[in-house]
Amino acid sequence: MKLLKKLTLLIFILLVGCSTNGKEEIKWFNNEKEAINFGIENEQIKESDIIDQFTFQEDKFLIFRFNDSNGQGVGIVNIIKKDGKYAWNRELQKVILKSEKLNLSANATLKTESGNKYKLYLGVMENGKTTIETDNNSGITPGIDEKTNIFYYLEHLK
């Protein structure tokens, strides 16, 4: 029964998250800091909520945490650089992974403006675990937010 509740909630989150009717227009800025400041304000988070940033090839990503009345979760952003301009671009919906009653794990595929594809793995580390399994590997050590115990791992797809 517990598994059924988790699966139902996960399907609901994915359906709600995927039910947007189009992409928001990308706003361009003269430098990366302006784009990040815009995103922080737009997402209604603080700079300290950005828990990690990393670059794969030409794609720069930020992972941020958020809290709302339903629980705690994360979002991923691609900081786009094009023609000397920068933009905050969140391709995927934010996802709540941790609530009072249950914790979830999820994964999703994303494609950046540069055309690269990635698979994002998210969840809550439990019982002292420090590694996860992906579609291609086991024993992967993901990034873990110490405040929430939420893990994240981004894998480049070929």
For 112-153, how does the pLDDT look when each residue is reduced to its tens digit (9 = 90+)? Answer: 999 999 999 999 998 888 999 999 889 999 999 999 999 999
Structurally, the chain folds into a number of domains equal to 1
Residue 97 domain flag: yes
Question: Bigger pLDDT: 63 or 126?
Answer: 63
Residue 2, in any domain of the structure = no
Tell whether 91 is covered by a domain: yes
Q: ∠ CA 53-59-65 to the nearest 5 degrees?
A: 30
pLDDT tens-place string over residues 12-39 = 444 444 433 345 689 999 999 999 999 9
- The larger pLDDT score, comparing residue 19 to residue 10, is at 10
Residue 71 lies in a domain: yes
Provide the residue range defining the domain that includes 147. Answer: 26-157
